[in-house]
Structure 1
Amino acid sequence: MPGVKKGETEAAQLQENLEGASIDDTIQPRQPTSLQGLLRFAMEATKDEDAPHSSELKPMDEERKKFLEEALKTMTINVVEVLQKQIAVLKNVGELKANDDPKDYLTAIENICEYIDNIDIANDFHKIGGLMILRPCLQSQNSKIRAGGCELIALLTQNNPTCQKIILENAFLPELIALLDTDNDVKVSIKSIYAISCLVRENNEGFNELIAHNGLHVFLKALKSKEERIIVKLAFLLSALCKSQPDLKSRLVFLEYFPVLISLVNEERNMGHEFLLSLLVTLTEDNPAAINEIKDPKYSFKDIITKYRSSILNREECEEEDQYCRILLHQIG
């Protein structure tokens, strides 16, 4: 049966790609790939036997049944064992020099990232010693490894109180803040914001640590870089924090965020403007001190918003921004 032979070849190739993962009764499927792959294998295995005009269902013969069972086995793996192998690879990541090839380490990070957005697997990752590779990643001489370390922390802690607590207890938040403050690679900065966000949003302990480690000062400095992607990430994060931590609005006024935010809005339009305007609306909502601040003539805030609104008027893609402008103009009277 030519179709079966081809299917068996593809299944064997897939088994190699799974890097020798073992099989047992507690395995967990990698669902998106396995379902598509299994369907493809089944179709390849039986296509030569399909009758062009027949819809009659026939019992599955033993050879076909055996093939499908084997294909299913190759599509399932022991996730913990896979994670342990990747952790073993990353144990030496601290020895990586600036000019060394990081390919194996990056592959290991990517493989781990495929699984740890699942809360149960993230918790298992900690139990099998995964935390030991995080700090060497953050401190690596290679910027891609540093960014990968940030992403690992983000995926581990997103909507996961258990991992959030563990990561905070192991003092990773100050390191993430330091990366945002001092790292020259924009991708590392963006990933560090991602990780910080996953640790502090809807998490009072994380938020308090952010304040204690001067995170708001670092955020303000990062906004001044005028890097568009950083502005988007930070404006979104600050808006979310203001909604869950109402006293943050007063802190941001005191730390003189308004001059920076207004200056950024006055720059040439980019994708960050929608998020900046949204943040300004959030900051001024039910906040008389903030409204009084932006009314100060030194900012020319009303003129800036009026001019900006004129530049986006009747542009369908700018409807949200126009709405924010109208709210701000109404608030300042």
Structure 2
Amino acid sequence: MAQEGPNWDGLLKWSLAHSDGTRPPPNLSEEDRRWFMEAMQAQTVDVIKRMKDITLVMQTPEQVLESQGVTAADIEDMLDELQEHVEAIDMANDLHSIGGLVPLLGYLKNSHANIRAKAADVVTTIVQNNPRSQQLVMDANGLEPLLSNFTSDPDVTARTKALGAISSLIRHNKPGIAAFRLANGYAGLRDALSSENVRFQRKALNLIHYLLHENWSDCYVVTELGFPRIMMHLASSEDAEVREAALRGLLELARDRPGGTTNGSSLGDEDEKLKQILQERITGISLMSPEDLGAAKEERQLVDSLWNACYKEPSSLREKGLLVLPGEDALPPDVASQHFEPPLRAWAANRTVDSNPSTEKKETPTPLLLGPGSSVNTCVQSSSNADADAGENHSSDAGQ
């Protein structure tokens, strides 16, 4: 007879009944203790063991897996599970020590586009905000297949995922940024901007903005490669996020730079075109409904900032009252102070309550010993005598 699974309803009720803090820890019988441990162990996953199992599969040649009935969909599911495991930084770093990083990077060259895309997703998770894994991937030459997929993969999803992995790999990673430049990564970004896939465009624009922000000298490079004209075109995109990202990149190009140089002049050949596009965006913003205006807050600010950077004057959005809508400059409501009251504020509030006349306890002032003729002593003595008389009367009343 097959062994029945853990009684999860009973386990939940037992746990709630003994963890509410209102009763002492129970004295479990040996049978209850064994049942509880079996229930917990049944749901415990040895992550390292699972990662080793997945590594073994990734190390197995594709033809062998196919002969054993393993499909591309099975590999995709396996990569999804691996991505969940490596969300923890420790697990991400352990993937290399158990031999799983190199075969994972090998999946970037898999014959199935979905597997290439999934592998790039896992790499993104591994290197995101993780300098140790960034270095491990760079040492394993992981940037090369990612760049290859980004620039030449026939599947746009795989290209987009590879770009996402590159963005995470070189972020806050100076050697990675340098390698990206040397590999002519900007040419790939220019091609991405010219695609018809808005997600691909957004990722490319966001990476361009980051690179320009990190190294202002790259502004001259992207200008020579013709990025301004492409970004001006995308500033009129139907996709709001693409418009905002394009305006953000143009603003980075137009900002004043160290040494007093102004990159706005590098847009000189496109100056009239840019002014026309910004005027069209101002007209489009003016025709927006109140709801759309609220959602376009960042776009409104970017248009005004870009106009001001290029033409040294505020845009007409200010005159029309569309730059800052009523209520946008108001402070957010204080919803936290009543729940997370700072200690000093709480102490002051308690002091206020304690000093309230209705709750303040009257105390006998400490007598000042100023000498036998002091009026203060006389008052204090009179008060003490009155209190003593009241105490005696109270005692005699209680005794009757």
TM-score w.r.t. structure 1 length?
0.79
Partner of residue 232, structure 2: 262
1:7/1:74 Cα in 2 relative to 1: closer, same or farther (>3 Å)? closer
The separation in 2 between residues aligned to 1:215 and 1:157, in whole angstroms, is: 19
1:145/1:304 Cα in 2 relative to 1: closer, same or farther (>3 Å)? same
Q: Deviations over 1:19-58 (max 9, x none)?
A: xxxxxxxxxxxxxxxxxxxxx66325579x99xxxx9747
In the TM superposition, residue 60 of structure 1 has moved relative to its aligned partner by 5.6
Give ranges in structure 1 of 5+ residues lacking alignment: 11-39
In the TM superposition, residue 299 of structure 1 has moved relative to its aligned partner by 5.3
Query: Is 1:307 the equivalent of 2:280?
Result: yes
In the TM superposition, residue 129 of structure 1 has moved relative to its aligned partner by 0.6
Query: Is 1:104 the equivalent of 2:74?
Result: yes
In the TM superposition, residue 289 of structure 1 has moved relative to its aligned partner by 5.2
The separation in 1 between residues aligned to 2:59 and 2:190, in whole angstroms, is: 35
In the TM superposition, residue 168 of structure 1 has moved relative to its aligned partner by 1.4
What letter corresponds to residue 119 of structure 2 in structure 1? G
In the TM superposition, residue 135 of structure 1 has moved relative to its aligned partner by 3.5
What letter corresponds to residue 88 of structure 1 in structure 2? L
In the TM superposition, residue 71 of structure 1 has moved relative to its aligned partner by 2.6
Partner of residue 8, structure 1: 6
Q: Secondary structure at the match of 1:300?
A: helix
CA contact (8 A) 1:259 1:299 kept: no
In the TM superposition, residue 66 of structure 1 has moved relative to its aligned partner by 3.6
Partner of residue 60, structure 2: 92
Partner residue of 1:320 out of 257, 273, 298: 298
What letter corresponds to residue 320 of structure 1 in structure 2? E
CA contact (8 A) 2:124 2:164 kept: yes
Partner of residue 316, structure 2: none
Number of residue equivalences? 294
Following superposition of structure 1 onto structure 2, how do residues 126-141 of structure 1 map, counting pairs within 5 Å?
126-141=96-111
What letter corresponds to residue 101 of structure 2 in structure 1? L
In the TM superposition, residue 244 of structure 1 has moved relative to its aligned partner by 2.0
The separation in 2 between residues aligned to 1:68 and 1:276, in whole angstroms, is: 57
The separation in 1 between residues aligned to 2:122 and 2:4, in whole angstroms, is: 38
Q: Deviations over 1:215-245 (max 9, x none)?
A: 1101111110031101111111221222222
Q: Secondary structure at the match of 1:267?
A: coil
- Stretch of structure 1 that moved more, 283-292 or 117-126: 283-292
CA contact (8 A) 1:180 1:189 kept: yes
Ranked by relative contact order (alpha carbons within 8 Å, sequence separation 6 or more), the top structure is 1
In the TM superposition, residue 329 of structure 1 has moved relative to its aligned partner by 0.9
The separation in 1 between residues aligned to 2:268 and 2:227, in whole angstroms, is: 14
TM-score w.r.t. structure 2 length?
0.67
In the TM superposition, residue 68 of structure 1 has moved relative to its aligned partner by 3.0
- 1 or 2, which has the higher helix percentage? 1
Partner of residue 84, structure 2: 114
